[in-house]
Structure 1
Amino acid sequence: MKKSIIACTLFLFNITAYAQFTNLPSGDNKRATVSEGIGITQVSINYSRPGVKHREGHIWGEVVHKGFANLGFGSSKAAPWRAGANENTTITFSTDVKVNGQSLPAGTYGFFVAYDPDESTLIFSKNASSWGSFYYDPNEDALRVKVKPVANDKSVEWLKYEFTDETPSSATIALEWEKLIFSFKVDVDLVNTQIASFRKELRGSSGFIWQTWNTAASFCEQNNTNLQEALLWADTATSISTGGSQSFQAWSTKAGILDSLGRNQEAMAVMKKALPFGNVNELYYYARSLAHLKKGKEAFEIFKMDYDKHPDEFLTNAGMARGYSALGDYKKALVYAQKSLLQAPDLPNKTRLENMVKTLQDGKDINL
């Protein structure tokens, strides 16, 4: 009796110790993680990679059972494939997404496949912590999508997930093993996810400096969206409390939002307030934008202001060349362009100025 108690104790000790070790993955299946950003959305897949291991032609419909099956273990009597090996495959979306056009909230999901050669079912389950699919419960499904497996022109030995066909707002995720590919498309709402992130982060430590408020406001201005809230963000960016009351960038962002709202006179007044705070580069590029919009007189005034503050410098001489060119006075513009050429700090700028000089000598506007 005493020996039995000792043996049982040792057995339990060995199980406990074994469970605490970091061991090689069961069946020599490789552990893997693949992750990629789509906009500000992070998509991560954790899985184990089974190998074909000389079982060509016996994977689909055999190693991977068709549809739903009773695996003989666990509570599920109709389990899909675990879409990998060992622990169940999980996929995490840091924001809300659309999968093949269907909405899926942010979160971590168990990922399963009910294989069928004609039309397979991809399952995103709210249960992401169970082992394999032995405890699969359809009541925990968050989303199901139908896909047709596609034949691969080459055999993939170790199962893998890949991101393909990337765009700024989408990517296709492909499960590849042996000679089949299962793909689904993930789309994100770039603008709304970014704005939602701004709202959240501006309530934290990021909200104590003008730069973050300006970044959020500028994003809305550039995308012509959420302008009323963006104007409030711009007000905060230009406030004394955040340190942006003398920031050219913050004031010019506010002016741009007002202009987008059709409040043009207010925008002009705000822009005039911004000008004294502009550095040599900010004034130069603001004037260039005016010249590009064929506002020659306004552009010249800013180029001249920049030159008066920083006389006879490379950039301000180039600015005066552009200013006079915007007024149609190519002769005076040429004088300043040649002066700027002599001051060019590097080869790219020298080449750019040489082209400007040639354009002016040909009697053409350099602001086109």
Structure 2
Amino acid sequence: MKKQLLKYSIFSLLLVFIVSQSIAQGIVFTPQVSGAASVSQHVGITNIEVKYSRPNVVSPQGQDRTDNLWGSPTVPYGFTNLGFGTATEAPWRAGANENTIITFSTDVKVEGKDLKAGSYGLHIAVYEDNKATVIFSNDTQSWGSYFYNPENDALRVDITTQEVAQTDLLTYTFIEATTSDAVLALDWEKKRFPIKISADTPELVYQNFKEKLKGDQGFNIQSWMAAANYLAQNKIHLDDALNYANAAVEGQFFSDKNFNTLAVKAGVLVAMEKMDEAEKVMDEALTMQGVTINNYYAYGRQLISQDRKEKAMEIFKKASKKWSDHWLAPHGLARVYSAMGEYKKAAEYETKAIAKAPEASKPVLEGYLNTLKEGKDFN
């Protein structure tokens, strides 16, 4: 009996030792009640990521907190003493467990206010009147809001909350996203906290071009063309855009004067409102070897969109002489006559285009013809 007790005692001590060592080594044996999650979104070339833990409206003890959540010990209103840690006035942790952390890969604006690239602890002060203050803290290492210190605030913004459908598990989602803006929403119970985030994507892309063109991508003519074209489309840093376009055309080991590089240069000149210079460049581009009717057609359409119908007519007439048997020749003329309001003449050319067009294109052209018969422009 004594031997058995001794064995049991030794086993118990050994078990305590193993468990103690395991805890000391940070081994996790059980999952957290509020599971960890993450969500991310690209806004242009800016990546936004949120890492958080997801509490449930139903407490770990099985209590439904739907009717007693906001303004409760779970989510106190405003700033409160949570009774633990160093914070005497703490906001809500906007999640569970450790800090909710939001990371921006570039500088952004949050609700119109500047915030530098980096990671931030995310907190929210919730109020009774559908108002809330979102806080971005430079402290990302603390547990919840128990050690919140306003001296670490990087930014505070005020938002208006919204009522939404029941969401049991606290959830962050990007409910809107474009190349320059996004709305990050925190939904829990029937309350939504929408946060607008913006990035100056064109400027960020420009800065990215400046760096990339110094490296191996600068050995590729396509990089210079892409940079010039992007800046022209966004009408920013046009002097640099013209330099990039000129580099693609001539003067560098990778340069090549062809239709595409000249067309990019012409596009920059159009953005600079130097129409006469752009026209001269495109006239040269159309003389380059390998130019097709598709190049003429695309340029003619561009001219129509710029309300330069006379020049478009000149281009489409040249295309008709060079490619008289191609269906795009009469179709191009139909487009420019339609833009000029000469619908009857446009219909004549569209009828000729339908006769020459491939079967797959005929239904679309027939739709254009019907529009012309109704006395409307189909451009």
TM-score, normalization: structure 2? 0.79
- 2:22 corresponding residue in structure 1: 14
Measured after TM superposition, the shift of residue 158 of structure 1 is 1.0
Cα deviation for residue 104 of structure 1 reads: 1.0
1:132 deviation in Å? 2.2
User: What letter is aligned with 1:93?
Assistant: F
The sequence identity of aligned pairs, in percent, is 39
Q: Distance in 2 between matches of 1:149 and 1:366?
A: 46
1:123 Cα deviation from its structure 2 partner: 1.0
- 1:88 maps to which residue? 99
Question: Which residue of the other structure, out of 330, 352, 357, is the alignment partner of 1:344?
Answer: 357
Q: Over residues 290-332 of structure 1, what are the superposed CA-to-partner deviations in whole Å (9 max), with x where a residue is unaligned?
A: 3555655543443354455555223234335557888999999
Residue matched to 1:135: 147
Does the residue aligned with 1:352 lie in a helix, a strand or coil?
A: helix
How many residue pairs align between the two structures? 360
Comparing 296-305 with 78-87, greater Cα deviation is found at 296-305
Q: Please give the residue correspondences for 1:47-86 in structure 2 after superposition, counting only pairs within 5 Å.
A: 47-53=52-58, 54-60=64-70, 61-86=72-97
**In structure 1, how many angstroms separate the alpha carbons of the residues matched to 2:83 and 2:341?**
85
Instruction: Map Cα deviations across residues 263-296 of structure 1 (whole Å, 9 max, x no partner).
Output: 4443233222221333332221102333555655
Letter in 2 for 1:266: E
Residues 38/359 of structure 1: CA separation in 2 closer, same or farther (3 Å cut): closer
Q: Aligned-residue CA RMSD in angstroms?
A: 3.6
CA–CA separation in structure 2 for the residues paired with 1:253 and 1:365: 32
Counterpart of 2:40? 35
Kindly state the Cα deviation for residue 110 of structure 1 after the two structures are TM-superposed. 0.9
Residue 219 of structure 1 is matched in structure 2 by 230
Shift of 1:51: 0.5
SS at match of 1:110: strand
Unaligned residue ranges in structure 1 (runs of 5+): none
Q: Residues 58-207 of structure 1 correspond to what in structure 2 (within 5 A)?
A: 58-60=68-70, 61-118=72-129, 119-150=131-162, 152=163, 154-164=165-175, 166=177, 169-207=180-218
Cα displacement (A) at 1:111: 0.3
Give the equivalent residue in structure 1 for 2:50: 45
Question: In structure 2, how many angstroms separate the alpha carbons of the residues matched to 1:198 and 1:125?
Answer: 31
Partners of 1:285 and 1:270 lie apart in 2 by: 15
Post-superposition shift, 1:336? 5.6
Structure 2 residue ranges without an equivalent (≥5): 1-9, 59-63
2:280 matched to 1:272? no
Change (3 A) 1:240 1:26: same
Q: Distance in 2 between matches of 1:353 and 1:114?
A: 60
Asked whether the equivalents of residues 107 and 116 of structure 2 are also in contact (C-alpha less than 8 Å), the reply is yes
Alignment of 1:347-362 (within 5 A): 347=360, 349-355=361-367
- Between 297-306 and 252-261, the greater mean CA deviation after superposition: 297-306
Counterpart amino acid of residue 316 in structure 2? F
Report the counterpart of residue 32 of structure 2 in structure 1. Answer: 26
Query: 2:315 is matched with which residue?
Result: 302
Q: Which is worse superposed, 110-119 or 311-320? A: 311-320
- 2:220 aligns with one of 192, 200, 209: 209
Match of 2:331 among 314, 318, 327: 318
